Structure 1
């Protein structure tokens, strides 16, 4: 009896139209990092509207739930909150900050914004690093001096707003008494997590030191400066944290991000000075000090080899120094010192006493110049240069001492500096006819010294030309980290 029912059922199913059977799989997420995949449904028969449905029970399948999968990479951290001062920089207000490109990343060391609503001009200033003051200024050019400044000053948590006037490289440098204070109206201020912030309104038209500042109808260079000290209760100190101005005058009603000035001349100055005093001067001095009795009998341009190349390197040193000095004079608009850093003073000594100036100290001081934007670890590269230079001099000096013990008393292999400055002496026949002992070893040392010095000079030149290189490195690191995080998320 059981067999007949089965056969009858099979005959009935042959008369039915063929319909597809669907198995569904799903993925269910519990959290960002934990989820289940390949959860299967029961078999589902898909039929059309006119299909006769067979009510014969289907064979059921067993569904197994796979254990949760833990992602190997951690989820990306939530985006950090952005200071309100950066909101609207692309569409509602004018923004200018330092260093270059910081506004897009919302991490400026100093920033000024201008929001225009009708005839009202609202300014915001902010600086990081626990400054004593942050100030914005309206200037006729990109240089400090003869500017109407607006100071946001904090003292033991108390924040005050002041208008002041700046003077170009002369005392008192900045003075609040020369500017009316009622042209500014404070709106908000804060000092949180080392960030000093002020928001205030400035009169559309004001007169300071006999000069009319018309924000609606005139264009100005916008400056942002910040410093860590005060000269006294009424004067801010040197802007050792931030100092930058827009590259050209602009209307304050413009919306978007303002561009800073070109740094081409500043970078060229640094590159020429490095090429002069790390590159060519080092080689020229070494040749004159230790190689006067090497390549004897060989000439270049009618002169002994050592002297020909010594002269080439020292002329290059002088030429690069003069070019670098002219470039920086053009950049700053004349000779000027920079706060407490004596780089400008020692640099002037470099030009006046071109061949006997203290080259190392001057280059070291340049690392800490605000405008140079060099990473602090540049000092270690310069220290490596000094150490290598000294070690080579010691080795060559020892070589000379050993050589002097093996030659006759009348033969001289090393010369005092007075001989290299133009005093003549009579060379013996041995001097003219043969290389001094250990000449091959000295040539080997020169072969090691020259390329290393060139490489060090190129590295420092690249740091100067690509500054701020730390910012570039951070940008690249951020891109790589985002790429790694995205790759882990997509697994």
Structure 2
């Protein structure tokens, strides 16, 4: 009976609250089992939905290299179904039909988006014609022409109305497609200030550049394209494309052919490294000019009478410090200039037709920087041929050496100020005018340091000391009242005061250089980690 009772009890239904509790436990256990699978499936669906708009199945490759020229990016995407964008062109007797495609799902779809192809003379967008397409988020789109002048892009309204026809804009599944016929004729009917901004497609081959980005929702003014490595950075053809149809031989231009472009690049040097080279350029210049150069100048001018009985590596202490600091500084400066031109592709920056104050600062930054560095390079050679301390032309050498050095320092300091609004530094953009105050404060500090040390050097000490002759010709090589006066009886005046003022300046120069360096590095890592 007992066993039956147990058996019966075991077969009887559980209380409702017991069943509910047990069911919840089973459901939790089941959820723990399927949750990873569910999450993985959800993520897979999201990835697929993001990938679908950019697969090359939406691009038409049939007539490429047959009736039309084609250029799709990234390289070799046609065979792997990974094309993100592309340009097609069909040369007709009256003009060229350009068709641009691009996925814009990786851009801000709440704002207008733009895609554009540039016709370049030198693989750079400077003074070149652009065919662009801008589409609003609500679906309204337009194809138009514009002009790049190295620093700005301006829409060409008259050229767009006169030279473009058969404009079409479509958007489907994240793919923006725009087309228009650019006429061979009609340039002579444009206004004089706009005529030269439209390239004649028949006269020569052109490199193609493709870019995309977002635009202002009200004015449709284009934002700058991405400036970092990645799929949104512009593409450039390795070869120039000819669009010539008539009289090509007479013009010396190869006739147009429906080719498939496969050789392309985004930049000769990765932006990742270009930003780092730019930062290292700035840091090297700061150390070379404001740490080594400034303090080397002060040592040469105000510390000759100090340590009269001591030598460093066989020569006067002041001279050894001055020479070593200036030589290392010049080496840093030359290396920095070479590296910055190397990362820029050895291209000299120029303002073109539109030149804002920031653009002009960039142009002058290059000019003053090169000029200051050139003067710094001359200095060691002038020092090598310096006359003896007791020579009649020694004062002329002293003044020349001092004047060139101070002129170079002034050019370098102006170059630092001109670098603040530059895009690669981002100092004014991120920190406002704080870098201006820091650099301006240091320049004032250097000037005040010279004034204070000059006052100390020209004020007689209450306990004059006789300096020993330590120069190679028996001269103490000291300065009493300026670069023109040297004496074999140098009187070191207020040595402790000189060292104290110099130490304050040294600390400030190091602090300024470190502060600007930290700013540059933080800005660099904020957009190019």
**What is the 5 A alignment of 1:140-155?**
142-145=123-126, 147-152=128-133
| Correspondence for 1:72 | none
TM superposition score normalised by structure 1: 0.53
d(CA) in 2 for partners of 1:250, 1:17: 87
Seen in structure 2, the aligned counterparts of structure 1 residues 250 and 304 have a Cα distance that, compared at 3 Å, is: same
| Correspondence for 2:53 | 88
Give the superposition deviation at 1:384: 2.9
Q: Which has the higher helix share?
A: 2
1:163 partner SS: strand
Seen in structure 2, the aligned counterparts of structure 1 residues 125 and 183 have a Cα distance that, compared at 3 Å, is: farther
Give the superposition deviation at 1:209: 1.8
d(CA) in 2 for partners of 1:278, 1:146: 37
d(CA) in 2 for partners of 1:344, 1:325: 15
Give the superposition deviation at 1:305: 3.1
Given the alignment, which residue of 192, 210, 214 partners 1:222?
210
Seen in structure 2, the aligned counterparts of structure 1 residues 289 and 219 have a Cα distance that, compared at 3 Å, is: closer
Given the alignment, which residue of 163, 167, 174 partners 2:145?
163
| Correspondence for 2:437 | 383
Give the superposition deviation at 1:314: 3.3
Seen in structure 2, the aligned counterparts of structure 1 residues 403 and 135 have a Cα distance that, compared at 3 Å, is: same
1:429 partner SS: coil
| Correspondence for 1:445 | 504
Q: Which has the higher strand share?
A: 1
Root-mean-square deviation (CA, aligned residues, Å) is 6.2
Seen in structure 2, the aligned counterparts of structure 1 residues 187 and 428 have a Cα distance that, compared at 3 Å, is: same
Give the superposition deviation at 1:162: 1.5
Give the superposition deviation at 1:167: 6.9
**What is the 5 A alignment of 1:338-487?**
338=351, 339-340=355-356, 341=359, 342-354=361-373, 355-372=408-425, 376-377=430-431, 380-381=434-435, 383-388=437-442, 390-391=444-445, 394=448, 397-398=451-452, 401=455, 407=461, 419=482, 423-427=483-487, 429-431=489-491, 436-442=495-501, 444-445=503-504, 448-449=507-508, 451-453=510-512, 455-456=514-515, 458-460=517-519, 462-463=521-522, 467=524, 469-471=525-527
| Correspondence for 1:123 | 101
Given the alignment, which residue of 347, 350, 353 partners 1:337?
350
Seen in structure 2, the aligned counterparts of structure 1 residues 136 and 254 have a Cα distance that, compared at 3 Å, is: same
1:407 partner SS: coil
1:162 partner SS: strand
Is the 2:310–2:316 contact (alpha carbons within 8 Å) kept by the matching residues of 1?
Answer: yes
d(CA) in 1 for partners of 2:20, 2:341: 84
TM superposition score normalised by structure 2: 0.50
Give the superposition deviation at 1:85: 11
Matched, 1:180 2:163: yes
| Correspondence for 2:117 | 137
| Correspondence for 1:29 | none
| Correspondence for 2:193 | none
Given the alignment, which residue of 286, 307, 311 partners 1:299?
311
Seen in structure 2, the aligned counterparts of structure 1 residues 122 and 296 have a Cα distance that, compared at 3 Å, is: same
Q: Max radius of gyration: which structure?
A: 1
Is the 2:117–2:210 contact (alpha carbons within 8 Å) kept by the matching residues of 1?
Answer: yes
Which 5+ residue runs of structure 1 have no aligned equivalent? 1-8, 26-38, 45-78, 97-111, 189-196, 229-235, 474-491
d(CA) in 1 for partners of 2:267, 2:320: 45
Matched, 1:288 2:297: yes
**What is the 5 A alignment of 1:249-288?**
249=237, 262-263=270-271, 264-265=273-274, 267-288=276-297
Which 5+ residue runs of structure 2 have no aligned equivalent? 23-42, 60-71, 75-83, 91-96, 185-198, 228-232, 240-258, 374-407, 468-476
Is the 1:277–1:317 contact (alpha carbons within 8 Å) kept by the matching residues of 2?
Answer: no
d(CA) in 2 for partners of 1:462, 1:335: 25
Seen in structure 2, the aligned counterparts of structure 1 residues 300 and 86 have a Cα distance that, compared at 3 Å, is: farther
d(CA) in 2 for partners of 1:397, 1:21: 105
